[in-house]
Amino acid sequence: MLFSQVVGQSELKKKLRDSVMNSRVAHAQMLVGPVGSGSLPLALAFAQYLACTNRGETDSCGKCAACVRYAKLEHPDLQLIFPKNKTAKIDHKNFSSKDFLPEWRKAVLGNPYLSLNDWLKELGIDNKQGAINVDDSREVLQNLSYKAYEADYRVVLIWLAEHMNASAANKLLKILEEPPERTVFLMVAESTENMLQTILSRVQMHRLGRLSEKEISEALSTGSDDGEQMEKLAHLADGDLNLAKNLLEDQASISASINFFIRWMRACFVLNLEILQELNEEFNALGREQQKALLAQSETILRKVLMYRTLPETKTKLLKEELEFIHKFSRFIQVENTASMLEALNEAHYHIERNANARITFADLSFQMSDSLMSQAMN
Ligand SMILES: [Zn+2]
């Protein structure tokens, strides 16, 4: 991560860079900021700056061997610690962050602004709590006992340090006070409320503010986008860049689903096999998760149509692009045929989840939808 890839926080960036330039890097530091403010990407940019062998005044070079490894979060002098819990794949008694590294790297490289919940979702355990446990601390101590390392500094980065349990925290106290030479602990946290005073008293504290609406809308904008739309999202996100990105993605995926659903229902209604075949190819080209999401969103749209039909006042809750379609489509919808369509969608979702053939599932589903629509039209 480069400083230039981190949104806003310019004052703190400068403070961190200056500490390196003046060789006054504190050996234990904590970056505290609200979710989506960028404390993790900033910590990663700082760690990379510490490791870069050709750093400039304002940023890492991005090209040296250290930077190349940092770009993959694979530098040997970077130890990564973060909350996690047992998953279907990793369920042995003792486990540490190391067991989850490939997944964590992938998640963070995909979205360095991710929340704890996003991460636990990636692991498929968002119904559980994540924790930093004593096995993590044990590994930190063991790792730091090796003398040899290549960069100017070794970094132990602890993401969401407030999720360290008491035994993990206690085990780190001594080394936090007197770490080996040129070792830097970088803790990232959203809040210090539940942290041991003994930890807090040992770190240099940096606070990150919420990002401004302007910073967020600029970060979201790709140039051609509707500026007004981005401002609206930035306002809704209230300083949380991660939330803003999620809102943007949701909106894009909802629009895409509505578009697909409209074409699909039209083709079902007149049983246009050629278009159904095209849609089947489109469906088949999606990944399993996207196929499931598309079916789930189709269910949602159908429920809205039914709601619109039975309680027209609900239209205030619909997106503009939904309303037009739903208004027209609601003529073909009754409680009975909606129920059978919802059931068919639900069943298809079930089969896709269990790895059924996507082409056959979709074709079968399309015929059922078509039947249900036509039965209503004939009545
Ligand atoms: Zn470099």
Question: What is the per-residue pLDDT across 304-343, written as a single tens digit (0 to 9) for each?
Answer: 888 888 887 766 566 666 677 788 788 777 888 888 999 9
* Cα angle value 36/110/31 (rounded, 5°): 35
Q: What is the pLDDT of residues 88-108, one digit of tens each?
A: 888 888 899 999 999 999 999
> Is residue 193 located within the same domain as residue 331?
no
What is the tally of structural domains in the chain? 2
Distance 152 CA to ligand 1 centre (A): 12
Distance 150 CA to ligand 1 centre (A): 13
DSSP SS3 for 187: strand
User: CA–CA separation, 25 vs 40, rounded Å?
Assistant: 18
> Is residue 198 located within the same domain as residue 254?
no
Does residue 221 fall inside a structural domain?
no
User: CA–CA separation, 40 vs 198, rounded Å?
Assistant: 23
Does residue 214 fall inside a structural domain?
no
User: What angle do helix axes 273-285 and 241-269 make, rounded to 10 degrees?
Assistant: 150
> Is residue 32 located within the same domain as residue 140?
yes
Does residue 230 fall inside a structural domain?
no
Does residue 232 fall inside a structural domain?
no
> Is residue 14 located within the same domain as residue 101?
yes
| CATH number of the structural domain spanning residue 28 | 3.40.50.300
Whole-number average pLDDT of the chain = 89
Region at 23 (left for phi over 0; alpha for psi -120 to 50; beta for the rest): left
Distance 69 CA to ligand 1 centre (A): 9
> Is residue 158 located within the same domain as residue 55?
yes
> Is residue 165 located within the same domain as residue 32?
yes
What is the pLDDT at residue 224?
64
Domain that holds residue 63: 3-209
Distance 144 CA to ligand 1 centre (A): 23
Does residue 225 fall inside a structural domain?
no
Q: Cα 21 to the chain's mean position, in Å?
A: 33
What is the pLDDT at residue 319?
62
Distance 62 CA to ligand 1 centre (A): 5
Distance 68 CA to ligand 1 centre (A): 7
pTM above the 0.85 mark? Answer: no
Region at 108 (left for phi over 0; alpha for psi -120 to 50; beta for the rest): alpha
**Residue 16: which pLDDT band, with cuts at 50, 70 and 90?**
very high
User: CA–CA separation, 74 vs 78, rounded Å?
Assistant: 7
What is the pLDDT at residue 23?
92
> Is residue 247 located within the same domain as residue 343?
yes
Distance 181 CA to ligand 1 centre (A): 22
What is the pLDDT at residue 247?
82
Distance 212 CA to ligand 1 centre (A): 30
> Is residue 72 located within the same domain as residue 170?
yes
Helix (H) or strand (E) holding 157: strand 154-159
Count CB neighbours of 120 within 10 A.
Answer: 20
Does residue 236 fall inside a structural domain?
no
> Is residue 160 located within the same domain as residue 259?
no
| CATH number of the structural domain spanning residue 301 | 1.20.272
Distance 75 CA to ligand 1 centre (A): 12
What is the pLDDT at residue 377?
62
Distance 137 CA to ligand 1 centre (A): 29
Distance 111 CA to ligand 1 centre (A): 22
Distance 78 CA to ligand 1 centre (A): 14
Does residue 189 fall inside a structural domain?
yes
Does residue 302 fall inside a structural domain?
yes
**Residue 230: which pLDDT band, with cuts at 50, 70 and 90?**
confident
> Is residue 77 located within the same domain as residue 130?
yes
